[in-house]
Structures are given as structure tokens and as C-alpha cells.
């Protein structure tokens, strides 16, 4: 049996008054999802273990069968894998945002969603001025970059910049959580302060300010960690050859550490205009070939949730159904080796909150010949009546592989 996990990021939601108390999953027309629910086995899954905030990286690590208590080392180190940057055993890596500061306060965490082209010039300047044998900056995408410190410690408390818009810089600076971490903390504070002078006078920012855009005038390091020690899925679950298909660096990075091949799909944007057909075709081709596990991640519904756009969220769900799930169901019916399909979100991103929550999500597992339960629709409430019942995230992979 081969396996495919189709994950609609942030697809789960809360009941919405404008939809007569239905959730987007209940309201959307999704014959493919409902085929899986009706002919498969359903349940609900707690994807965010206690003590963790409901980040996509936490939930997706769990869905792939990793215990975040043991392997989670922050966003930076996961994104590093996707950027092709190695983290040595004596290095600490972290997300390094380019942010916009105004009057000593954080104006925004994204420097007005600066373009990657502009950001790469700024990161290059930072590396030239602040880089050393100890400190290195690596360019990622838009405002999301990477900072590594050789000999650094991870027990430094750093504030995620998106949590503190409008807050004074001085009150939000890194704090050492141990005496040993003080040198790392002092270095980070020094880098933050010196970055302002370098960035503020850089031609890229001069140009941005001239046309009324936010300057990317400070770095903001956060989410520190060492190289994750993740066993590949081949060792953990006997997966012979697996692949990840996603537009998101964080997910591709997790895939790399998990020993999966990253299949790039042209036009996969991470937004609602993503290349759904291309992703479906890539997944089908992988399953027809020698891959025995495919992890297909679609970001669009999460973005719609963050925008609080109910209509858009419904559309992204219907696109996932019609343009990915239905073609995959049809394709696997003709495949020589049977394929089990799992469908789930990683966490809810309720439109009224515009952010993630830790509530349980619905999940379904289907393959030809599986004994179905009584559930007929794929949504948050129907899944509560599924035969799998309520599960914790580490039970998901074994359920799928032994279904
Ligand atoms: Zn997510």
C-alpha cells in the first residue's frame, strides 16, 4: 500500500453566522472530500501538543509523526533546510526578520512585505558589515531570513515581532534565560542596534522611503534552535521513498529533515492562485513512480483565514476538492498498487480570529476496501462521530500506515 497525505493548511474554522452557523468546510461544495468521508474512516485530531503555540511547523511535524517535544528547534533551523543552509553542531540558527521601526517602536514585522530582490541587497550589506567567523546572515524570501551564530546558545528569549506591533524596541529586546546565554544575548542586542545604522542609510531603503514605502531598517532575530535531530521517515516508519510538495519553505524544510524529496511545482505560490493542477499531477506522477509516501501541502486556505475572508476561504476549499482531491481519487483507482488517501488541515485558522487556534481538526483515511464508518461529510462536526474518535497527533501516522 502507498500513502498520500493531503493537507489543507488552516482549513478548519468555527461556525460563522453569515453561513447560517456553518463552517466554511460545511458550507463549501466538496464532493471529493465527502467521498473520502463516506467511504473512509473519520476522526478528530489534536495537532498541537500542550505547551506549544499552534504554529504550522508544530502541527505539520506532528502529522508526519515527529514528537515536537523531542525534535522542535525553532523555525529558523527548519527554514534553513529549505534554503540549503547547513547548521553545524556548534551553531545556533534563528529566523531573522527584516522589520520596520518608527520612533523607537516596531511598526511592522515584515518591512511592508519587502520584495526578495530588495531584501537580498540588504542581507548582503548586513553580511558584509556584521558578518564574521561567528555571525552569518543568509537570504530567504521577502522579510524572512536566517541568522546563524557559531558557539551561540539557544536559551535566549526572543519576542516574535508579529506579536508586538507598536511596542517599544527596548522593552522587546532579547533576554538571556541563563548565565551561559548572556554572551549570545548581548551579541544579538548589539547586532539589532547596529543593523539600524547600516540599513537606514542603504540605497534600497532610501528608494523605498522616497516612494512612501516602509524601510526595512532593523533586523529582528527570534525562534532560536540547534540543528534538529530528526530521524528520516524511512527509519521511523519504514517509508522507502517519500516526497513533499509545498510552496512553503517551512514545510519543505521539515520534509528535507524527514528525508523526503522536495518536488518543486512551477506556479506553486502558497496563495489561492496556486497551481493546484500542477500539484495534483506531481503527486499522481510520484505515486505512479517509485514513491510510497507523498505529503501534499496547500497553503491557500490558511492565507484566506488570516485575511478573514470567508468567501475566499470557501473558494480555496472548493479548489482543493475539485482540482486536487478529486483528480487524485480518480487517479489512484486505476493504479496497480493500492493507495491510501488521508485528508486533514493542520490547525484551524478561523476567519473571525484571523489567526491559528489549537482546536482539534477533522481527519479522514480512505483506501479501496477499508471498512467505512457512518460519517458522510468531511467537516469539523461530522468527524466527531467517526470511528477513529479523538486522537493525539502522534497516533496519526501509525493509523494511516496500518489502515
Ligand atoms: Zn498551518
Residues whose CB falls within 8 Å of the CB of residue 29, separated by 6 or more in sequence, listed in order: 318, 321
The half-sphere exposure of 270 on its side-chain side, counting CA atoms within 13 A, is: 10
Residue entry with cell 487556534: 357
Q: Average the pLDDT over 192-213 and give the result.
A: 97
Task: Read off the DSSP letter of residue 9.
Answer: T
> 36 alpha carbon to ligand 1 midpoint, in Å?
22
- Distance (angstroms) between ligand 1 centre and the Cα of 102 equals 30
Instruction: List, for residues 57-97, the tens digit of each pLDDT value.
Output: 999 999 999 999 999 999 899 989 888 899 999 999 999 99
Assess contact for 263 and 289: CB atoms under 8 A. no
Torsion of CA 266, 278, 58, 117, to 10 degrees: 20
Report CA(85)–ligand 1 centroid distance (Å).
23
The three cell numbers of residue 221 are: 532575530
Residue 91 — φ and ψ, nearest 5°?
-115, 150
Residue 9 Cα, ligand 1 centroid: separation in angstroms? 5
Q: What pLDDT score was predicted for residue 266?
A: 87
The CA 8 to ligand 1 mean position distance, Å, reads 8
pTM: 0.88
- Given a contact cutoff of 8 angstroms between Cβ atoms, the answer to whether 183 and 155 are in contact is no
Taking residues 378-386, what's their average pLDDT?
Answer: 98
Q: Which three cell numbers stand for residue 261?
A: 524529496
Task: Please give the pLDDT value at position 54.
Answer: 93
Distance 347 CA to ligand 1 centre (A): 6
Tell me the per-residue pLDDT of 325-380, one tens digit each, with 9 for 90 and over.
999 999 999 999 999 999 999 999 999 998 899 999 999 999 999 999 999 999 99
pLDDT at 198: 98
Q: How far is the CA of 56 from the centre of ligand 1 (A)?
A: 4
- Which sign, positive or negative, has the C-alpha torsion 103, 105, 107, 109? positive
Q: 30 alpha carbon to ligand 1 midpoint, in Å?
A: 21
Q: Is 59 exposed, middle or buried (0-12, 13-18, 19+ CB in 10 A)?
A: buried
The percentage of residues in the chain with a pLDDT greater than 90, rounded to a whole number, is 90
**Mean pLDDT for the chain overall:** 95
C-alpha 10 to ligand 1 mean position (Å)? 5
Query: What pLDDT was estimated at residue 270?
Result: 67
76 Cα to the center of ligand 1, angstroms: 16
**How far does the centroid of ligand 1 lie from the alpha carbon of residue 62, in Å?**
12
Residue 272 in this model has a pLDDT that exceeds 80: no
Q: What is the DSSP letter of 239?
A: -
Q: List, for residues 276-293, the tens digit of each pLDDT value.
A: 999 999 999 999 999 999
Instruction: State the CB neighbour count (10 A cutoff) for residue 78.
Output: 29
Query: Residue 103 is placed in which grid cell?
Result: 520612533
pLDDT at 382: 98
Distance 240 CA to ligand 1 centre (A): 26
Residue 1 CA, ligand 1 centroid: distance in Å: 28
Q: Which residues lie across from 210 on neighbouring strands?
A: none
**Region 150-169 average pLDDT:** 92
Residue 217 has pLDDT above 90, yes or no: yes
pLDDT of res. 113: 86
Number of helices (H) and strands (E) in the chain: give both, helices first: 16, 15
Higher pLDDT, 11 or 307: 11
CA distance 8 to 397: 17
In angstroms, what is the span from residue 169 Cα to ligand 1's centroid? 28
Contacts 24+ apart (CB under 8 A), 254-258: 254/57, 254/60, 254/61, 254/64, 254/78, 254/81, 255/295, 256/81, 256/82, 257/78, 257/81, 257/228, 257/230, 258/64, 258/66, 258/230, 258/232, 258/233
Measured in Å, residue 346 CA sits from the centre of ligand 1 at 5
Among residues 35, 61, 44, the alpha carbon closest in space to that of 348 is found at 44
pLDDT of residue 268: 73
The tens digit of pLDDT for each residue in 226-267 reads: 999 899 999 999 999 999 999 888 899 999 999 999 999 988
- Packing angle of the helix pair 116-130, 203-210 (nearest 10 deg): 140
Amino acid at each position: 500500500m502507498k500513502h498520500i497525505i493531503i493537507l489543507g493548511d488552516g482549513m478548519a474554522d468555527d461556525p460563522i453566522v453569515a453561513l447560517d452557523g456553518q463552517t466554511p468546510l460545511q458550507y463549501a461544495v466538496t464532493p471529493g472530500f465527502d467521498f473520502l468521508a463516506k467511504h473512509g474512516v473519520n476522526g478528530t485530531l489534536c495537532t498541537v501538543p500542550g505547551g506549544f503555540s499552534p504554529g504550522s511547523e508544530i502541527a505539520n511535524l506532528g502529522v508526519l509523526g515527529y514528537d515536537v517535544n523531542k525534535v522542535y528547534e525553532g523555525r529558523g533551523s527548519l527554514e534553513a533546510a529549505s534554503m540549503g543552509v547547513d547548521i553545524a553542531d556548534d551553531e545556533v540558527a534563528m529566523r531573522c526578520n527584516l522589520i520596520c521601526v518608527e520612533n523607537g517602536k516596531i511598526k511592522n514585522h515584515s518591512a511592508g512585505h519587502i520584495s526578495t530582490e530588495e531584501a537580498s541587497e540588504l542581507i548582503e550589506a548586513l553580511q558584509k558589515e556584521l558578518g564574521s567567523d561567528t555571525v552569518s546572515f543568509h537570504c530567504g524570501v521577502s522579510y524572512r531570513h536566517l541568522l546563524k551564530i557559531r558557539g551561540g546558545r539557544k536559551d535566549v528569549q526572543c519576542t516574535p515581532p508579529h506579536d508586538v506591533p507598536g511596542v517599544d524596541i527596548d522593552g522587546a529586546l532579547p533576554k538571556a534565560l541563563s548565565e551561559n546565554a548572556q554572551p549570545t544575548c548581548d551579541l544579538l542586542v548589539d547586532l539589532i542596534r547596529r543593523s539600524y545604522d547600516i540599513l537606514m542609510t542603504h540605497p534600497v531603503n532610501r528608494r523605498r522611503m522616497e516612494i512612501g514605502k516602509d524601510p526595512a531598517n532593523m533586523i529582528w532575530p527570534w525562534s532560536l534552535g540547534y540543528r534538529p535531530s530528526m530521524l528520516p521517515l524511512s527509519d521511523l516508519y519504514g517509508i522507502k521513498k517519500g516526497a513533499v510538495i509545498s510552496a512553503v519553505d517551512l514545510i519543505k524544510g521539515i520534509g528535507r529533515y524527514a528525508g523526503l524529496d522536495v518536488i518543486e511545482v512551477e506556479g506553486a505560490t502558497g496563495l489561492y492562485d496556486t497551481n493546484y493542477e500542477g500539484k495534483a499531477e506531481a503527486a499522481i506522477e510520484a505515486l505512479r513512480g517509485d514513491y510510497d509516501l507523498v505529503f501534499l501541502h496547500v497553503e491557500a486556505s490558511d492565507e484566506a483565514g488570516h485575511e478573514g475572508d470567508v468567501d475566499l476561504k470557501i473558494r480555496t476549499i472548493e479548489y482543493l476538492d475539485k482540482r486536487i482531491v478529486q483528480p487524485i481519487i480518480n487517479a489512484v483507482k486505476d493504479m496497480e498498487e493500492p493507495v491510501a488517501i488521508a485528508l486533514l488541515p493542520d490547525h484551524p485558522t478561523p476567519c473571525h480570529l484571523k489567526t491559528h487556534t489549537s482546536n482539534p481538526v477533522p481527519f479522514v483515511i480512505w483506501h479501496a476496501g477499508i471498512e467505512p464508518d457512518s460519517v458522510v461529510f468531511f467537516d469539523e462536526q461530522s468527524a466527531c462521530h467517526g470511528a477513529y474518535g479523538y486522537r493525539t497527533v502522534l497516533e496519526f501516522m501509525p493509523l494511516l500506515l496500518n489502515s
